[in-house]
Structure 1
């Protein structure tokens, strides 16, 4: 593969990293340029069941995930109940979505954070920045035990969202 082709392919890929860590917590940042208008990206954010990975759901089926911005719930239906993964704390209907809570194993700790999605139109594309600032207590330390896995999982979800919007399929 030529260097130019490789660079072009990487230019559109999602970029993920742990951008800060301390004894009190960590921050992960995911970035992607998505070949879709920001209104379409924002609408897709509110339908995680279409693009989120089933292996990162409690029910084993991402179709059970939903975000109800008006009622403030990023929730998942379970066979005999539900789980509130996060609470929507800000939704402007177009450029910003913010949620608060602890994803995955953080629900079993004293840790929680602010998950923010920021969308910026870039011509026919949208630049998406996702940050998750996590603080609190987790046995073994937050940054030591959870920063890298959270970064990996969120990076995967952003890549799936991008692929879903660009191809119609997240896989």
Structure 2
């Protein structure tokens, strides 16, 4: 339940752009530019999600493992530390490697509220070099709760999640480090 608690906790990430909001849904868009090419962003996005997605925004925290199967019908899934706890966060709906990943579903508490959404990671070369990553999320559906009250927090969490990917991609690689000598 760390995800639910984390979603409603105060976040320090810069807010995303709330494009529209209503009692039954919303659209949020956030952007980050990173100093690597779209192929490197794609590799980290789908192949290394467990290394950059904030663990305080998962169901089982640091002991869990996240993965994205980048194919239509694939799973953005989480496995708890003992392997028995499992969550399908979202389903992969569209894959254009190096350009677009579209996931369907409601994240965190939105899933339990019976809401659905479409999340896209859009990758494009940035004019100044590197890659512009746009995280777009539209969610909604019937709920007796007024979703507009949740949007400021969801907005901050989305910014935190994209910042996790961007910060991960901005870290220097280990290629310059000498390998340890394996000889005795």
Same fold (TM over 0.5): yes
Q: 1:62 Cα deviation (Å)? A: 7.2
- Aligned partners of 1:92, 1:29: CA distance in 2, in Å? 19
Asked if 2 retains the 8 angstrom alpha-carbon contact of 1:14 and 1:30, the reply is no
Q: 1:141 Cα deviation (Å)? A: 1.4
The residue number in structure 1 matching 2:40 is: 40
Provide Cα deviations, 1:82-126, integer angstroms capped at 9, x if missing partner.
100000000111100000001000111121100011110125310
The residue number in structure 2 matching 1:9 is: none
Provide Cα deviations, 1:16-42, integer angstroms capped at 9, x if missing partner.
121111233101111111111111011
The residue number in structure 2 matching 1:65 is: 66
Between the two proteins, the alignment pairs up a number of residues equal to 156
1:86-165 equivalent positions in 2, closer than 5 A: 86-122=90-126, 124-144=129-149, 146-165=150-169
Provide Cα deviations, 1:43-64, integer angstroms capped at 9, x if missing partner.
1111210101110011112750
Q: Tell me which structure has the larger Cα radius of gyration.
A: 2
Across the aligned residues of Structure 1 and Structure 2, the Cα RMSD in angstroms comes to 2.0
Structure 1 moving runs of 4+ over 6 Å: none
The answer for unaligned runs of 5 or more in structure 1 is 1-12
The answer for unaligned runs of 5 or more in structure 2 is 1-12, 174-184
The residue number in structure 1 matching 2:177 is: none
Asked if 1 retains the 8 angstrom alpha-carbon contact of 2:14 and 2:156, the reply is no
- Aligned partners of 1:119, 1:16: CA distance in 2, in Å? 17
